[in-house]
Amino acid sequence: MTDPDLHVTQARLRRKRSVKWTQYGDDVIPAWIADMDFPVAPEISAALRQIIDMDDFGYPPANLNDRAAKAFCNWMTTRHGWTPDPARIFVGSTMMQLMHAMVMMFSEPGDGIIVQTPIYPGFLSVVAQNNRRLDENPLRRGNARYEIDMDGLRRVIDPRSRILLLCNPHNPTGRCFGKDELQAIADVALAHDLIIVANEVHMDFVYAPARHTPFAALGAEIAARTITLSSTSKGLNIAGLRCAVAHFGSEALQTRFKRINTHIMGTPSIFSIVGSEAAWKFGGPAQDKILQQLDANRRLVAETVRSEMPGMAHFPPEATYFAWLDCSALNLKQSAAKFFLDKAKVALSPGGDFSSYTDKFARLNFATPPEILSEILSRMARALKG
Ligand SMILES: Cc1ncc(COP(=O)(O)O)c(C=O)c1O
């Protein structure tokens, strides 16, 4: 049973204009792009409705950005035990925009950018599109989870390596890296004079007993070389509003960033700032409900894969609402995502988008009411029984 606040029908979802529910035909259930299907918290909708009711569509003043920055800092303090400095925050539009901006401002063409693959495809494109070198550090498959290959990390670094683009929690594997793992990365960054760009957009989806550690919270020395990127676009499901923040762990980093031509960054709209401020100010209880539902969903996926999809391998995620499904042993004649699209009418994210070696994987987004998730899983199980 879904919590009534999180309930939504397929019929309603199919009336949306956003890409998740419009990319495929009505016979397909989408479980791909990282939007959740749950309704948005009423506090956020109310804040947005006020803008409409007042025809408040004029130029947003700069202090609106400051309000969003402060709300983010309070959220980080209360939910993640780390207090960023609001004065060190740049408010932008999207995580991808900020990742591109950081790569442009903190490295030169040809420099190495370290990435732990498989990885959210935007990490690969930010390296390629800025003509940087991909320093690939594949995660190792452990017994119950994927792990950072620390020897591999040291091996991949050379004098042109500049930035470690960290994804924590990690999309698509669902790893929430522990303090010790992050500290090991920090030690390498300090030894090799790397800048860390920490993409922490999935920070609010961590299942107990795991706990999110903001990278910059490891200590002053590492914070001084860390740029933290985050957003409430995932946490409270408002990706379409387009607001993300960058926090500079030192004045030197912030000063260097300020050389950017801010005009090409655009400015977030009044909707995006007010919506994000409301999310960070009032979204705690809604976030808790969502996480509880996702935890139940994560268990449902694990149980169904184990009992109904023999041969499919899957480590239940410690964080995120993704199940990273290893279909290598299924001997499918096509990529895993294509198989499930054709035979199950379920749209997953193709594993091949996340690295050159994961074509036999697919990523399932399980952030949907359990009734819809059950339908997704039974369609997949039926297709495999074929
Ligand atoms: C790790 C990560 N970074 C960035 C993005 C994209 O965020 P945005 O739409 O704000 O660019 C996503 C979306 O799924 C993501 O998972």
**Rounded distance between C-alpha atoms, residue 100 and residue 86, angstroms:** 22
- pLDDT for the residue 2: 73
- Taking CA atoms only, the protein residue closest to ligand 1 atom 7 is 95
Summary mean pLDDT of the chain: 97
Atom from ligand 1 closest to the CA of residue 98? 11
Q: Tell me which residue of 353, 256, 286 sits closest to 42, measured CA to CA.
A: 286
Q: Are 197 and 166 in contact (CB under 8 A)?
A: yes
For ligand 1, the distance from its centroid to the CA atom of residue 109, given in whole angstroms, is 23
- Taking CA atoms only, the protein residue closest to ligand 1 atom 14 is 34
Q: Tell me which residue of 333, 337, 314 sits closest to 324, measured CA to CA.
A: 314
For ligand 1, the distance from its centroid to the CA atom of residue 107, given in whole angstroms, is 21
User: What is the residue whose two structure tokens read 């017994």?
Assistant: 143
pLDDT for 267-318, tens place per residue?
999 999 999 999 999 999 999 999 999 999 999 999 999 999 999 999 999 9
Query: Could you say which DSSP state residue 149 is in?
Result: -
For ligand 1, the distance from its centroid to the CA atom of residue 96, given in whole angstroms, is 6
Q: Are 384 and 330 in contact (CB under 8 A)?
A: yes
Atom from ligand 1 closest to the CA of residue 93? 10
Atom from ligand 1 closest to the CA of residue 96? 11
Is the CB of 244 within 6 Å of ligand 1?
Answer: yes
Is the CB of 120 within 6 Å of ligand 1?
Answer: yes
**Rounded distance between C-alpha atoms, residue 278 and residue 257, angstroms:** 27
For ligand 1, the distance from its centroid to the CA atom of residue 4, given in whole angstroms, is 28
**Rounded distance between C-alpha atoms, residue 316 and residue 256, angstroms:** 40
CA max distance for the chain: 59
**289 — phi, psi (to 5°)?**
-65, -45
Q: Are 113 and 162 in contact (CB under 8 A)?
A: yes
- pLDDT for the residue 62: 82
**Chain-centre distance of CA 375, in angstroms?**
25
Q: Tell me which residue of 141, 200, 149 sits closest to 319, measured CA to CA.
A: 200
User: What is the residue whose two structure tokens read 């239940």?
Assistant: 316
Q: Which of 126, 129, 171 has most ligand 1 atoms within 8 Å of its beta carbon, as the pocket-test mutant?
A: 171
- Pairing mode, if any, of strands 112-115 and 146-147? unpaired
* Tokens at 261, concatenated: 């031509």
Is the CB of 98 within 6 Å of ligand 1?
Answer: no
Coil, strand or helix at 224: coil
**Rounded distance between C-alpha atoms, residue 31 and residue 35, angstroms:** 9
Residue % of the chain over a pLDDT of 90: 97
Architecture of domain 45-282: 3-Layer(aba) Sandwich (3.40)
- pLDDT for the residue 227: 99
* Tokens at 296, concatenated: 């139940």
For ligand 1, the distance from its centroid to the CA atom of residue 171, given in whole angstroms, is 9
Is the CB of 127 within 6 Å of ligand 1?
Answer: no
- pLDDT for the residue 24: 97
- pLDDT for the residue 3: 82
For ligand 1, the distance from its centroid to the CA atom of residue 310, given in whole angstroms, is 31
Please indicate, yes or no, whether the overall pTM of this predicted structure exceeds 0.75. yes
The band of 386, judged by pLDDT with boundaries at 50, 70 and 90, is confident
Mean pLDDT of the 112-129 span: 98
Mean pLDDT of the 111-128 span: 98
For ligand 1, the distance from its centroid to the CA atom of residue 386, given in whole angstroms, is 35
Task: Name the CATH superfamily housing domain 4-41+284-385.
Answer: Aspartate Aminotransferase, domain 1 (3.90.1150.10)
The band of 260, judged by pLDDT with boundaries at 50, 70 and 90, is very high
Coil, strand or helix at 11: helix
Q: Are 360 and 336 in contact (CB under 8 A)?
A: yes
- pLDDT for the residue 1: 60
Neighbouring C-alpha atoms within 13 Å toward the C-beta of 110: 2
pLDDT for 329-369, tens place per residue?
999 999 999 999 999 999 999 999 999 999 999 999 999 99
Q: Are 362 and 350 in contact (CB under 8 A)?
A: yes
Domain-wise residue ranges, the chain = 4-41+284-385, 45-282
For ligand 1, the distance from its centroid to the CA atom of residue 201, given in whole angstroms, is 7
Mean pLDDT of the 149-162 span: 98
pLDDT for 20-60, tens place per residue?
999 999 999 999 999 999 999 999 999 999 999 999 999 99
* Tokens at 208, concatenated: 């107990």
Is the CB of 95 within 6 Å of ligand 1?
Answer: yes
Q: Tell me which residue of 287, 274, 316, 319 sits closest to 299, measured CA to CA.
A: 316
Element (H, E) at 162: strand 161-167
**Rounded distance between C-alpha atoms, residue 333 and residue 331, angstroms:** 6
